[in-house]
Structure 1
Amino acid sequence: MENYGGIIQCACLASFLREQGHEVVLLRRAPDRSLPMRLAVQMLEKLPGQNIRGFRQRARELAQNQAFIDAFVGPASPLLYSSDDMARYARKAQIAGVVVGSDQVWRMQYVPKGGEGDYFLAFADASMKRVAYAASFGHDTWNYPELTAQASALLQKFDHVAVREKSGATICRDVFGRDSAVHVLDPTMLVDPAIYERMSPPAPGDQAPYLYRYILDDTAEISAITKLIKAALPAQTQARSTILTDSSEKPTIERWIANLRSADFVITDSFHGTVFAIIFRKNFVTLVNNNRGAGRFYSLMTELGLADRILSTAEQDRAATLVANPIDFDAVHDRIDRWREISRQFLQQALR
């Protein structure tokens, strides 16, 4: 939970669960580390003038958004460094059920070292209800054969399973023998969009028209497409950018939401950048990011009738055309509303 989408989807899922009358606590699984290693990491997070292995930058970015996390995610466990830690905390807190989801929680390369089984709820005892909501594998295939037997056995113990991508349901069926996975919305679309007014109240200063570029992995091709799109927009349109992988100071979550909500056009290679362009009814282009998992984009956009807004870096000639083609957001949101009802019913029934 270290990026905008990861934090906000967690906050949205927690908000929905609380609306249903549940008490919610976030379980914070950390990588398996010895005590000396934990102390070393804590030192690197605080020591100025360095950013060894990115510890200090991640700690600073997390601290910048801690007030938001406290307000919208809510209570959380201390860092838990092993399955035993997870199990002990769950018993002590008298947790009755665990929901795992959503943002690429089953993409094992993103899971804390040693926590692979815990993201399939290995720590949960037999008395706890086990639910996956909008769990994502990140890719259209399962690429961890050494973990297949463990994940398959654990998945059979789940009471209910829902995935974020259609390909996830196929993986559950064909790889793990679980053929009842439901295809549901990401938590950011599960909730009433009015929640984003509370997360990021409108502020003055966002009135001038602008193009917002939210990019995870910037390239020369993306910059070229940006120039083509900007040239096709009205001359007074300004440009703003957030590049996740550069070293510049990043906006807070509140500011990031506001940047997307007030933009006149959005260019992004991010799944949640795409989601919020849709939520806020912005004309947009999604640049497919194969390294981070293209299937996530196609799964969502095809369901919503927006597959034509996906652009590869080799399709620069289509960029200006998309600027001129408005999106029928009433039709898009009609689809979201129907899918939202299915998704809500899944969670409500799963947690009874």
Structure 2
Amino acid sequence: MNSKNKVGILTYHTGYNYGASLQAYALSTVINKMGISCEIINFETARFLASREMFSRSPRRLKEFIKIITRVPYLTQLKKRQALFDCYTNKHLPISKLYREESDVIKNASIYDCIICGSDQIWNLSQNDAPAANLLFYLNFPKKQKRVSYAASFGKWVKEAPKYRDVIVPLLKNFDAVSVREHSGVEFLNSVGVDACITLDPTLLLDKEDYDLICQKRLIEHPYVLLFSWSCGNEVVTAAKKIANILKLPLINITPPPRALFSRITRKLDVGPCEFLSLIKYADFVVTDSFHGTAFSTNFEKSFVSIVSDNTPDPRMKSLLDQLQLSDHLVNTAEIDLEKISKTDFEIVRNKKTVLRKASLEFLENALAEFRKDK
């Protein structure tokens, strides 16, 4: 890649996670559509690599042994799943050479005219629920290029962030343009003197036609209901079974055990990001409690429900569905109304999404205007 107008994206783009992989694809695609050269800075520490393994090579805790034992019957599928993720990353993401150490990224940062800290919980520094946690995602090195964040997130760690303001605020004030994906992030940043706005998750900036370019062919020939939930809690599993029973369709779960271990739901686990898109695109109905399960159900204009657990809706899902006039799709099991959902007018959704995208795309265009190839 020519060093002129070179933009680097620093985000979570691996981890065998559909949302992380596809948001990286979406952001890089949008930037390329703007006529700007970009690549994803391929940073992955050994600690993060170990955390994402399908089978832990060095199990220490009981739950790690349980994970291994319950996944043995799916060994072949899970190996293929990992290979599909790796193939997707190499084929569809414009990645740089691999960096295992923070110091190597810092040493090579000067090749970029701009670095974008991309969407995901990259600013969550909790060592408990963020195995990739690293101050590098705050760009903790001397500034030699423009710095932008797009839909970055602190996650729940935003409540702890004020305790670390002396460390992170000076770094955040080095950014030239800041956007995050949650109101809580804006509130914290504004409280410490950092101007910030909210932008859409990158996966919502593209149309289904954009995803068709990488979407795998139909994988399951017969009609089916798709369950996509990382937690596979009782509420979402019960809802999925209820809907599949009403529709008289088989139910497919793509989350590995030990989640939903005794649910007796058929699993299909040889699923990478391109296969994930296919399973949503061709599903007769999608049941999810995941933000990206919700986002892609709206992108492909599917009949779906986003399940609320413990009467506490995910704030990102609630905000998105409210804005798309789809709030009746965010329900608990007792509130499911398939007749009403079947009458969803997706033309209204498309129009709402166009309006929502405008501000997010304007933020990116303004932040990166100087790097367009036609400048």
What TM-score bracket applies, with the shorter chain setting the length? 0.7 to 0.9
1:308 corresponding residue in structure 2: 328
Counterpart selection for 1:299 from 319, 325, 343: 319
Seen in structure 2, the aligned counterparts of structure 1 residues 98 and 260 have a Cα distance that, compared at 3 Å, is same
Confirm or deny: 8 A CA contact 1:210 1:265 kept in the other structure: yes
- SS, match of residue 353 in structure 2: helix
Question: How many angstroms apart in 1 are the aligned matches of 2:122 and 2:338?
Answer: 33
- Is 1:105 the equivalent of 2:122? yes
Confirm or deny: 8 A CA contact 1:28 1:76 kept in the other structure: yes
Seen in structure 2, the aligned counterparts of structure 1 residues 73 and 49 have a Cα distance that, compared at 3 Å, is closer
**TM-score normalised according to structure 2 size:** 0.77
Q: How far did residue 113 of structure 1 move?
A: 5.7
Question: How many angstroms apart in 2 are the aligned matches of 1:27 and 1:293?
Answer: 34
RMSD of aligned Cα (Å): 3.3
Q: How far did residue 242 of structure 1 move?
A: 1.2
The number of residues matched between the two structures is 331
Question: How many angstroms apart in 2 are the aligned matches of 1:61 and 1:105?
Answer: 24
1:341 corresponding residue in structure 2: 358
2:10 corresponding residue in structure 1: none
Confirm or deny: 8 A CA contact 1:138 1:296 kept in the other structure: no
Q: How far did residue 149 of structure 1 move?
A: 2.1
- Is 1:155 the equivalent of 2:172? yes
Q: How far did residue 340 of structure 1 move?
A: 1.4
Counterpart selection for 2:139 from 121, 146, 158: 121
Counterpart selection for 2:226 from 187, 198, 212: 212
1:52 corresponding residue in structure 2: 59
Greater relative contact order structure (CA < 8 Å, 6+ sep): 2
Question: How many angstroms apart in 2 are the aligned matches of 1:228 and 1:191?
Answer: 32
Confirm or deny: 8 A CA contact 2:236 2:287 kept in the other structure: no
Question: How many angstroms apart in 2 are the aligned matches of 1:204 and 1:86?
Answer: 39
Seen in structure 2, the aligned counterparts of structure 1 residues 230 and 189 have a Cα distance that, compared at 3 Å, is same
1:185 corresponding residue in structure 2: 200
Deviations 1:98-132, CA, capped at 9 Å, x for gaps: 111102222223545661x2111113x32211001
Structure-to-structure mapping, 1:1-352, within 5 angstroms: 1-2=14-15, 3-31=17-45, 50=57, 52=59, 61-82=81-102, 84-91=103-110, 94-109=111-126, 110-112=129-131, 115=134, 117-123=135-141, 125-139=142-156, 141-174=158-191, 176-178=192-194, 180-203=195-218, 205-206=220-221, 208-233=222-247, 235=248, 237-244=249-256, 246=258, 249-288=269-308, 294-311=314-331, 315-319=332-336, 321-322=337-338, 324-325=340-341, 326-352=343-369
Confirm or deny: 8 A CA contact 2:240 2:251 kept in the other structure: no
Question: How many angstroms apart in 1 are the aligned matches of 2:143 and 2:165?
Answer: 21
**TM-score normalised according to structure 1 size:** 0.82
Question: How many angstroms apart in 2 are the aligned matches of 1:59 and 1:146?
Answer: 41
Q: Which 4+ residue blocks in structure 1 deviate beyond 6 angstroms?
A: 53-60
Question: Which runs of no fewer than 5 residues in structure 2 stay unpaired?
Answer: 1-13, 69-74, 260-266, 370-375
% same residue: 27
Q: How far did residue 22 of structure 1 move?
A: 2.6
Deviations 1:45-78, CA, capped at 9 Å, x for gaps: 79x9956377999997543312211222122232
Seen in structure 2, the aligned counterparts of structure 1 residues 177 and 60 have a Cα distance that, compared at 3 Å, is farther
Seen in structure 2, the aligned counterparts of structure 1 residues 32 and 224 have a Cα distance that, compared at 3 Å, is closer
Seen in structure 2, the aligned counterparts of structure 1 residues 126 and 5 have a Cα distance that, compared at 3 Å, is same
Question: How many angstroms apart in 2 are the aligned matches of 1:112 and 1:49?
Answer: 14
